[in-house]
């Protein structure tokens, strides 16, 4: 079979050429503006960019650009004139469909590749470190998503008569279909909007090991009955249903429900979209081959199909209105929704068919649609009202124990798979301790079920039990696994007092692993509290995990930090002439506070003194164990001076302060900033001790 | 040969074409006439594979035309409502046709454009309606297709340019053995160029014939006899229409054997004139003979 029967490059070229203006505009928007945006973010950011950040404009573009590309390539089928022209050409429908599909895919993939290239360049020319794996994941996620959106738009385009209806059909495929699936299978309490609602759930212990040591029912018969069945209540939990739908739906849902959990890299979602691409292509192809080309410049020739599509688009809103009625929530919002919905229903014909339909017939259709949806919603409710969310202890996939000391990370925690430990945590969750008092510890718990659902709650237990639990986790195999960082995924590090992250090479990766092991295996001494913090960044499947360690957790790490700071100080001293330390407050690390209340004013008036100070001490070797101060004026990576000469600088400030006594501007500034000066001799004495 | 067998096409609830049968021989110009909405454009769209027939088949040679790239390499269609890509010039359009048609003759196009003073590099959106039609026609001619389909062929074109195209088409028929199918609701427009004519009415071909035989078999006669006379006096002839004003009668006679003159001369007429018939008149009388009122058809 000749390849030209599938892909006609001349036709593809001509098809692109005829829409070159529109295509060039839309396909260049993301690479240009994303690059500008990322450049400004990357230049000033002290944290590495993550997948969501580098995808910011790509996310918005996912809803627009594939549709524009689809319209440019297939839009001719919506006008009689262009249908006559194109379909009379010696090219088969099969070739047109396949050529346009491949062309669209190549255009979208090309745009994303160029954007990925620009992102890589940003990583190279700015101080931001972007791991190569993240670029690959960016391409994987967005190429699949864009193609998925493009293919589904093509499905819509293949059987409707105008672009607005194509958009509406696509919206039904993207949003209404998964919404309905979720409404039926998930938590339908105003689903999916009300995700912040606290829930009470019941834990069912299938193993004696997770039975509570103490549990009170206070005479409640239902509770006693539950206890007989080994079921125990847990309050204030948040149940998160898995969001494994295709990304276009997931993204909107995440924005509406929990914006802090926008997961772009979701393998299940990606697989679903990949399957959707294949299925969508086949359906679109069949529809296109059999398309009645006389169906154009209107929504559908079939009135029934027209009414069905019009009704389908409003079903999610009808479900929400039904739930709002049932739960007696904000009736004003319901009324507003209802007015919008009725307005939409009557205007739909005007928009899609350029005519106002028969009022009585439209009203009849609206009433029928509302009735059908309400009956379905009622039946779903009747079935689901019987259900109580039950957490069965033997169906737990893993538990995340959000203890900072265990993890050294605010974003990554040990995943506990060990059934004994799971039982222990469940047991402590449902056990009711009579008196917590002040000797209690609390930690966040995330229970991930085999079904993909997540349950979040806070566990509060007496300190002794908590410490015992932490100890058990520390000695578990799960924790051993957690400690073993896959060094390939560790991509950047940053010293707390150096603004920008650095790329981690193999040497630093090894040092980081050693420091990490030291930090989590041993109690660090008191001095560690005042040590500079080293961050390191770990990339895995779209997420950047941040760990923080005391810089003295490893001698090598400490040495590197000292070396870096010493070198940087010298560089700072060499390029001091054009620098002005305005609006900058040097800080004292051990206290974490500003040096003096008025140091901002003092620093602004002692530029020459500071420069002399920097020059004088720029050859000092920096010592992480000692207290230090940092002069940082917030531009660029090399614009900080870090020194252990704390007492010397304090003396300099004191001297300046003395000289300003009686100065009107100074007094005015103190007044404006509501600063009442204290005797600084105590601060000085304290600093001397540390020094 | 274009063979259309039992083709039906329905829009919504209306049968635009119903069980239409038609055969168009090679290397001729076939004129398709019919009133607005009679289905002329639909038939051309069906032949060109733009629309799918609900029933029936359309073949060129032995091959179906729908979605057949090989056959369509020899077919070109210019619809009544012209379409050009936005902001394209004639040359851009020619390049598009060149990409689509293997035999596209760019030199021929430039030559035709030169004759018609059509600027190759000017945007088509700035052209007048007639100039756009000229561009569409020269693009079609330059494809060197064996089958050309023109809907409302000369719409908006002045008589001089119309003649230019008629000659160009005739030359192409001679050189490439082209078959041309053109529609019009104006019979006079097709009269001097078509070899065959088909009248489309009520979803089917109502009447079909080649023009030469129609014209040579039918005569308009003005006659006056010494005696008083009426239609009965001409019962030996096949009279399609008889009108008498005063002593002069006008007869439309169908005379395949060319015997009418002898018969009439034997009647010793005072006046006997054979007048030429326009195609429109031929159609009117033929249709009347079939029992249709021609005004309803066109």
pLDDT in tens, B206-244: 777 787 777 777 888 999 988 888 888 888 888 888 888
| Residue A683: predicted pLDDT | 46
Of A21, A82, A87, the CB nearest to B49: A87
**What are the DSSP calls for chain B, one per residue?**
-EEEEEEEEEETTEEEEEEEEEEE-SS-EEEEEE-TTSSHHHHHHHHTTSS--SEEEEEETTEE-TT-HHHHTTEEEE-SS----TT-BHHHHHHHHHHH-TT--HHHHHHHHHHTT--TTSBGGGS-HHHHHHHHHHHHHHTT-SEEEESSTTTT--HHHHHHHHHHHHHHHHHH--EEEEEES-HHHHHTT-SEEEEEETTEEEEEEEHHHHHHHEEEEEEE-SS---GGGGTTSEEEEEEEETTEEEEEEE-TTS-HHHHHHTT--SEEEEEPPPHHHHHHHHHHHHT--HHHH-
* B286 falls within a domain: yes
Tell me, yes or no, whether A209 and A89 share the same domain.
no
Task: Tell me if A90 and B85 make a contact (CB, 8 A cut-off).
Answer: no
Whether B67 contacts chain A with CB within 8 A: yes
Tell me, yes or no, whether B90 and B144 share the same domain.
yes
Tell me, yes or no, whether A148 and A285 share the same domain.
yes
| Residue A578: predicted pLDDT | 67
**Residues of chain A contacting residue B95, judged by C-beta atoms under 8 Å apart:** 14
pLDDT tens by residue, A280-304:
999 999 999 999 898 888 888 788 8
| Residue B178: predicted pLDDT | 94
Per-residue pLDDT, averaged over A667-681, amounts to: 73
Tell me, yes or no, whether A368 and A494 share the same domain.
no
Tell me, yes or no, whether A169 and A199 share the same domain.
no
Residue B249 banded pLDDT, cuts 50, 70, 90: very high
- The structure tokens listed for B152 are 């409302």
Last residue of a domain, one of A340, A356, A386: A386
Whether A10 contacts chain B with CB within 8 A: yes
Tell me, yes or no, whether A59 and A91 share the same domain.
yes
Task: Tell me if B88 and A18 make a contact (CB, 8 A cut-off).
Answer: yes
Q: What rounded mean pLDDT belongs to chain B?
A: 88
Residue A1 banded pLDDT, cuts 50, 70, 90: low
Residue A216 has pLDDT above 90, yes or no: no
Tell me, yes or no, whether B221 and B196 share the same domain.
no
Per-residue pLDDT, averaged over A46-68, amounts to: 90
* B99 falls within a domain: yes
| Residue A483: predicted pLDDT | 82
| Structural domain that includes position B144 | 2-202
Tell me, yes or no, whether A44 and A101 share the same domain.
yes
Tell me, yes or no, whether A201 and A276 share the same domain.
no
Per-residue pLDDT, averaged over A266-284, amounts to: 95
Per-residue pLDDT, averaged over A567-579, amounts to: 78
Tell me, yes or no, whether A212 and A286 share the same domain.
no
- A591 vs A619, which has greater pLDDT? A619
| Structural domain that includes position A536 | 487-551
Last residue of a domain, one of B140, B173, B202: B202
pLDDT tens by residue, B136-171:
999 999 999 999 999 988 888 888 999 999 999 999
Tell me, yes or no, whether B54 and B91 share the same domain.
yes
- A416 vs A326, which has greater pLDDT? A416
**Residues of chain A contacting residue B83, judged by C-beta atoms under 8 Å apart:** 79, 81-82, 84-85
Tell me, yes or no, whether B119 and B71 share the same domain.
yes
Whether A87 contacts chain B with CB within 8 A: yes
Tell me, yes or no, whether B179 and B275 share the same domain.
no
Residue A191 has pLDDT above 50, yes or no: no
Task: Tell me if A294 and B88 make a contact (CB, 8 A cut-off).
Answer: no
Q: How many domains does chain A have?
A: 5
| Residue A691: predicted pLDDT | 38
Mutate to test the interface with B, among A80, A84, A292, A301 (most CBs of B within 10 A): A84
* B209 falls within a domain: no
pLDDT tens by residue, A524-538:
555 455 566 788 888
Last residue of a domain, one of B143, B170, B202: B202
Q: How many domains does chain B have?
A: 2
* B258 falls within a domain: yes
Last residue of a domain, one of B202, B235, B265: B202
* B27 falls within a domain: yes
Tell me, yes or no, whether B175 and B222 share the same domain.
no
Residue B71 has pLDDT above 90, yes or no: yes
Tell me, yes or no, whether B224 and B179 share the same domain.
no
Q: How far is A2 from chain B (nearest CA, A)?
A: 13
Tell me, yes or no, whether B37 and B70 share the same domain.
yes
What ipTM was predicted for this assembly? Answer: 0.87
Tell me, yes or no, whether B159 and B79 share the same domain.
yes
Residue A258 banded pLDDT, cuts 50, 70, 90: low
* A655 falls within a domain: yes
Whether B15 contacts chain A with CB within 8 A: no
| Residue B259: predicted pLDDT | 82
Tell me, yes or no, whether A43 and A153 share the same domain.
yes
- The structure tokens listed for A152 are 């589904």
| Residue A540: predicted pLDDT | 86
| Residue A94: predicted pLDDT | 94
Tell me, yes or no, whether A16 and A120 share the same domain.
yes
- B37 vs B89, which has greater pLDDT? B89
Of B11, B68, B85, the CB nearest to A18: B85
Tell me, yes or no, whether B229 and B198 share the same domain.
no
| Residue B15 belongs to domain with CATH number | 3.40.50.300
* A125 falls within a domain: yes
Last residue of a domain, one of A386, A414, A429: A386
Tell me, yes or no, whether A341 and A371 share the same domain.
yes
Residue A240 has pLDDT above 80, yes or no: no
Tell me, yes or no, whether A640 and A655 share the same domain.
yes
pLDDT tens by residue, A366-381:
899 999 999 998 888 7
**Percent of chain A's residues with pLDDT above 90:** 23
pTM metric for this prediction:
0.83
Residue A259 banded pLDDT, cuts 50, 70, 90: very low
| Residue A206: predicted pLDDT | 77
Tell me, yes or no, whether B184 and B233 share the same domain.
no
Tell me, yes or no, whether B54 and B165 share the same domain.
yes
């Amino acid at each position: 079979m000749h390849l030209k029967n599938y892909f006609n490059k001349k036709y593809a070229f001509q098809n692109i050429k005829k829409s070159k203006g529109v295509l060039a505009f839309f396909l260049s928007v993301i690479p240009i503006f994303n690059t500008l945006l990322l450049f400004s973010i990357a230049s000033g950011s002290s944290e590495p960019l993550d997948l969501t950040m580098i995808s910011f404009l790509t996310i918005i573009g996912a809803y627009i650009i594939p549709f524009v590309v689809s319209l440019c390539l297939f839009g001719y089928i919506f006008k009689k004139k262009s249908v006559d022209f194109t379909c009379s050409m010696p090219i088969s429908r099969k070739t047109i469909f396949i050529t346009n599909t491949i062309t669209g895919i190549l255009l979208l993939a090309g745009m994303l590749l160029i954007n990925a290239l620009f992102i890589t360049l940003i990583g190279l020319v700015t101080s931001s470190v972007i791991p190569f794996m993240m670029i690959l994941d960016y391409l994987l996620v967005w190429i699949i998503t864009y193609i998925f959106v493009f293919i589904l738009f093509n499905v819509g385009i293949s059987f409707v008569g105008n672009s607005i209806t194509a958009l509406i059909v696509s919206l039904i495929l993207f949003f209404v279909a998964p919404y309905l699936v979720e409404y039926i299978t998930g938590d339908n309490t105003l689903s999916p909007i009300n995700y912040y609602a606290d829930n009470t759930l019941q834990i069912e212990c299938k193993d004696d090991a997770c039975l509570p040591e103490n549990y009170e029912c206070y005479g409640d018969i239902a509770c006693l009955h539950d206890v007989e069945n080994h079921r125990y209540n847990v309050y204030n939990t948040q149940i998160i249903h898995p969001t494994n739908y295709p990304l276009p739906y997931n993204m909107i849902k995440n924005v509406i429900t929990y914006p802090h959990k926008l997961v772009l890299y979701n393998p299940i979602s990606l697989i679903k979209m990949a399957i959707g691409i294949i299925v969508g292509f086949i359906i679109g192809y069949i529809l296109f081959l059999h398309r009645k080309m006389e169906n154009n410049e209107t929504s559908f020739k079939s009135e029934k199909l027209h009414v069905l599509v019009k009704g389908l688009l409003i079903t999610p809103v009808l479900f929400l209105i039904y739930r709002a009625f049932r739960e007696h929530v904000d009736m004003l919002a319901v009324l507003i929704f209802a007015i919008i919905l009725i307005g939409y229903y009557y205007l739909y014909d005007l928009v899609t068919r350029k005519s106002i339909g028969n009022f009585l017939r439209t009203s009849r259709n609206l009433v029928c649609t509302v009735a059908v949806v309400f009956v379905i919603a009622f039946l779903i409710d009747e079935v689901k009202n019987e259900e109580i969310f039950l957490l069965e202890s033997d169906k737990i996939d893993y538990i995340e124990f959000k203890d900072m000391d265990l993890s050294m990370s605010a974003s990554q925690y040990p995943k506990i798979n060990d059934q004994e430990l799971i039982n222990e945590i469940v047991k402590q969750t449902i056990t009711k301790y009579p008196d917590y008092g002040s000797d209690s510890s609390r930690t966040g718990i995330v229970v991930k079920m085999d079904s993909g659902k997540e349950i979040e709650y806070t566990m509060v237990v007496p300190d002794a039990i908590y410490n015992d639990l932490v100890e058990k986790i520390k000695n578990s195999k799960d924790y051993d696994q957690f400690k073993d960082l896959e060094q390939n995924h560790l991509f950047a590090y940053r010293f707390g007092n150096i603004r920008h992250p650095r790329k981690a090479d193999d040497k630093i990766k090894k040092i980081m692993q050693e420091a990490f092991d030291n930090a989590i295996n041993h109690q660090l001494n008191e001095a560690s509290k005042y040590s500079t913090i080293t961050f390191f960044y770990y990339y895995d499947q779209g997420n950047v995990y941040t760990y923080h360690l005391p810089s003295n957790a490893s001698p090598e790490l400490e040495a590197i930090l000292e070396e870096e700071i010493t070198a940087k100080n010298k560089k700072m001293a060499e390029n001091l002439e054009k620098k002005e330390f305005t609006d900058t407050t040097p800080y004292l690390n051990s206290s974490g506070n500003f040096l003096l209340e008025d140091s901002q004013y003092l620093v602004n008036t002692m530029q020459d003194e500071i420069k002399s100070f920097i020059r004088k001490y720029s050859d000092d070797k920096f010592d992480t164990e000692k207290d230090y101060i940092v002069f940082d004026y917030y531009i660029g990576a090399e614009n900080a001076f870090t020194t252990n000469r704390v007492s010397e600088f304090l003396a300099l400030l004191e001297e300046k302060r003395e000289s300003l006594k009686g100065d009107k501007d100074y007094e005015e500034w103190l007044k404006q900033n509501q600063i009442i000066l204290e005797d600084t001799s105590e601060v000085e004495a304290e600093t001397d001790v540390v020094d | 040969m274009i063979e259309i067998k039992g083709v039906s096409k329905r829009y919504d609830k209306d049968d635009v074409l119903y069980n239409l049968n038609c055969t168009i021989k090679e290397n001729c110009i076939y004129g398709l006439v019919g009133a607005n909405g009679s289905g002329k454009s639909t038939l051309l769209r069906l032949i060109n594979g733009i629309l799918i027939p609900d029933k029936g088949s359309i073949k060129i040679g032995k091959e179906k035309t729908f979605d057949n790239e090989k056959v369509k390499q020899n077919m070109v269609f210019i619809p009544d409502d012209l379409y050009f890509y936005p902001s394209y010039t004639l040359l851009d359009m020619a390049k598009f046709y060149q990409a689509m048609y293997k035999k596209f003759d760019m030199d021929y196009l430039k030559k035709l454009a030169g004759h018609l003073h059509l600027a190759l590099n000017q945007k088509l959106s700035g052209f007048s309606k007639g100039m756009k039609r000229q561009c569409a026609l020269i693009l079609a001619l330059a494809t060197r297709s064996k089958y050309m389909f023109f809907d409302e062929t000369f719409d908006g074109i002045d008589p001089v340019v119309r003649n230019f195209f008629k000659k160009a088409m005739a030359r192409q028929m001679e050189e490439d053995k082209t078959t041309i199918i053109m529609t019009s609701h104006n019979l006079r427009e097709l009269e001097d160029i078509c070899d065959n004519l088909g009248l489309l009415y009520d979803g089917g071909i109502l009447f079909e014939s080649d023009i030469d035989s129609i014209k040579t078999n039918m005569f308009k006669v003005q006659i006056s006899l010494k005696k008083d006379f009426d239609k009965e006096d001409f019962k030996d002839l096949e009279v399609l229409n008889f009108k008498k004003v005063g002593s002069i009668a006008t007869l439309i006679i169908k005379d395949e054997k060319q015997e009418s003159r002898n018969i009439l001369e034997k009647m010793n007429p005072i006046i006997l004139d054979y007048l030429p018939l326009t195609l429109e008149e031929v159609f009117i009388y033929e249709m009347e003979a079939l029992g249709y009122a021609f005004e309803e058809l066109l």
